[in-house]
Amino acid sequence: MGFMLAAAGSAVGLGNIWKFPYMAGQMGGSVFVLTYLVCMFVIGLPILVTEWLIGRRGQKNPIHTMEDVAKAEGRSANWRWVGIIGVLGSFLILSFYSVIGGWATDYIFLAGKGTFLGMNGEGTNRIFSEFLGSVNHLLIWHTVFMFATAVIVAMGVSGGLERSCKIMMPGLGLLLIGLVVYAAVVSGPAFGQAFSFLFTPNWSALTGEAVLAALGHAFFSLSLGMGIMMAYGSYLGKDVNLISTARTVVILDVIVAILSGLAIFPLVFANGLQPGKGAGLIFVTLPIAFGNMTGGTILGVLFFIFLTFAALTSSISLLEPTVELLEEKTPLGRKSATLLSSVVIWALGVACVLSFNEWQNVTLFGKNIFDLLDYFTSKLMLPLTGLGTIIFAGWMMNQETIRRELNLSPALFAGWKFLCRIVIPIAVIFILIYGFMD
């Protein structure tokens, strides 16, 4: 149970509620959504199982786990690079994750002050633009969020936070369901429009970029390709059924993302907003609902509190690998290791904050710093590390031991092997090439 909470706590976060809808909106909707669903179950689920399996074997941090398991299988210790790139990925992701976590935190107070009462899309857009333009404001909330993450990691009390998920997660789920129902009731035909935007295939939006974005998001959303799930695997008992536990986590993760999409897009269409608005999408849509429903102020406060908690359980899992690595490789203790890594991540986050305003025009390859960090991690590092993990498990490890560990019949295992050895590596390589040539 504790394990499930930690794994689900890491998986469910801003990725589901903030990133999924905004990417779906930018990538034209259903093609992205459907590819994401396929990627979650066909690629994400087996990689999640594989990361846990390797982590349970290695019992260490991702880098040493990869090294030890590789050596035990008679392979090169260079497989540690899968772990190294993973830790680097988590470090880079946290820098922008903390900025968005800060937005969620600030919106608790904005909602509480009744800022959104009676507002339409124009109003929430204005508030959000003013918010983005205020560097000090963004900096303060990024700092608060990063500080909270660091304190929890430094004091080693993440278990306590994860336990609070027992209340927060169902709360978040219920509120999302409530928002979907609200959207269905008040937005009339816009709900149908949103539904078909998300689920009726529009093949014209099928581009390499959309498919790569969907693959990358499946990794991001399940916290894969960063060694994080590998690290969690070391807490798994031998008797835990990896496949069914992974299935539960994937289903939960997908449900939260889809609910979020169904709550947001009806508001987008009913209020004449742009689906492709980008990173601010939930911050301009949901406040319209909170501003116009009965009890909206209190529900808005609760929603953003739950969202902030969901973001925190993910951000602590993002900080943990870097801190552990510093603890092991340097004479630093836990507290100083946390301080050092948090300060560096925070500083990178400051650059990310500025990319929303003063450094908007500072670009590389046509992308500002926030986009670049996101692109580089989700679309390159995570798929590559995932690919490394699955090739390692499929081709480098003793298959009979894996079969017994997964408790699969020989026939089912043949299917599993085909998936891990052939289907997933080819799919990931193909999507990477297709995505980058686009």
Q: What is the dihedral of CA 11, 14, 15, 17, to 10 degrees?
A: 110
What is the DSSP annotation of 368-431? -HHHHHHIIIIIIIHHHHHHHHHHIIIIIS-HHHHHHHHT--HHHHHHHHHIIIIIHHHHHHHH
Q: Measured at CB, which residue is nearest to ligand PFF?
A: 15
Least spacing, CB of residue 371 vs ligand PFF, in Å: 17
Least spacing, CB of residue 309 vs ligand PFF, in Å: 12
* 3-state DSSP assignment of residue 201: coil
> Which CB sits closer to ligand PFF, 260 or 355?
260
The first and second tokens of residue 204, run together, are 């014209």
What residues does 364 pair with on adjacent strands? Answer: 367
Least spacing, CB of residue 119 vs ligand PFF, in Å: 27
> Which CB sits closer to ligand PFF, 47 or 228?
228
> Which CB sits closer to ligand PFF, 213 or 318?
318
Least spacing, CB of residue 221 vs ligand PFF, in Å: 4
Least spacing, CB of residue 418 vs ligand PFF, in Å: 28
* 3-state DSSP assignment of residue 367: strand
| Length of the chain as a residue count | 438
> Which CB sits closer to ligand PFF, 93 or 250?
93
Phi-psi region of 272 (alpha: psi -120 to 50; beta: other; left: phi over 0): left
Closest CA to 183 of 91, 259, 284: 259
Biggest alpha carbon distance in the chain?
66
> Which CB sits closer to ligand PFF, 180 or 228?
228
Least spacing, CB of residue 226 vs ligand PFF, in Å: 4
> Which CB sits closer to ligand PFF, 14 or 211?
14
Q: Where are the alpha helices (DSSP H) in 187-239?
A: 189-199, 208-221, 228-233
Burial of 369 (0-12, 13-18, 19+ CB in 10 A): buried
Least spacing, CB of residue 321 vs ligand PFF, in Å: 8
Least spacing, CB of residue 228 vs ligand PFF, in Å: 4
* Binding-site ranges for ligand PFF (CB under 6 A): 10-11, 13-16, 90, 93, 220-221, 223, 226, 228, 314, 317-318
> Which CB sits closer to ligand PFF, 11 or 66?
11
> Which CB sits closer to ligand PFF, 243 or 252?
252
Least spacing, CB of residue 172 vs ligand PFF, in Å: 12
> Which CB sits closer to ligand PFF, 108 or 318?
318
Least spacing, CB of residue 78 vs ligand PFF, in Å: 23
The first and second tokens of residue 29, run together, are 């909707």
Distance between the two ends of the chain, CA-based, in angstroms?
43
The alpha carbon dihedral of 177, 241, 35, 86 has a sign of: positive
**What 8-state DSSP symbol labels residue 203?**
G
What is the DSSP annotation of 28-86? TSHHHHHHHHHIIIIIIHHHHHHHHHHHHHH-S-HHHHHHHHHHHTT--GGGHHHHHHH
> Which CB sits closer to ligand PFF, 182 or 217?
217
